Structure 1
Amino acid sequence: MVNFNVRFPDDLHARVRAQAAADRRSINSEILYLIEVGLAGVSAKAGSPGGDPADAAPFRRKPDSSSA
């Protein structure tokens, strides 16, 4: 198993923590579950089991408030 560190914004961490509690899972297990569900959705949209990374949705950044 790979050890991977990631930084979460406080509000996202709180949402994941609350969902993990509701699902009676650890935060780590909840994150793994959510990633698996998300990747399954991406693969289904791509039309093939592994999906083509080129077909994946682009990374969504925060909107730039200066261009509003």
Structure 2
Amino acid sequence: MIKLNLRLPDDLYDAAKALAAADDRSLNSWLVAVVRRAVEASGTPDRPGGDPAAPAPLRGSGHSPRP
């Protein structure tokens, strides 16, 4: 297992921590599940034409994208 230091904006950290608690998981376990779902998802709906090489468009300020 790889250890990773991740810096998050305060608001994103607070939101993720609350969602993890609501899911009765640790923040680490919740983040692993979210990243796993993102990696395993088929296609790339946020990218122009579904092209995985095309950059995803920025949403909002670019600091804490929200789905």
The interval holding the TM-score normalised by the smaller chain is: 0.5 to 0.7
Deviation at 1:58, TM superposition (A): 2.0
Amino acid at match of 2:15: R
Gaps of 5+ in 1: 47-53, 64-68
Pair 1:36-2:33 in alignment: no
Pair 1:58-2:52 in alignment: no
Q: Structure 1 residues 55, 30: closer, same or farther in 2, change over 3 A?
A: same
Tell me the equivalent position of 2:19: 19
Three-state SS of the structure 2 residue aligned to 1:12 is helix
How many residues are aligned here? 54
Q: Which TM-score applies when normalising by structure 1?
A: 0.66
Q: Structure 1 residues 10, 39: closer, same or farther in 2, change over 3 A?
A: same
Higher relative contact order (CA 8 A, sep 6+): 2
Tell me the equivalent position of 1:50: none
Q: Which TM-score applies when normalising by structure 2?
A: 0.67
The higher radius of gyration belongs to 1
Gaps of 5+ in 2: 45-50
Task: Specify which structure has the higher proportion of helix.
Answer: 1
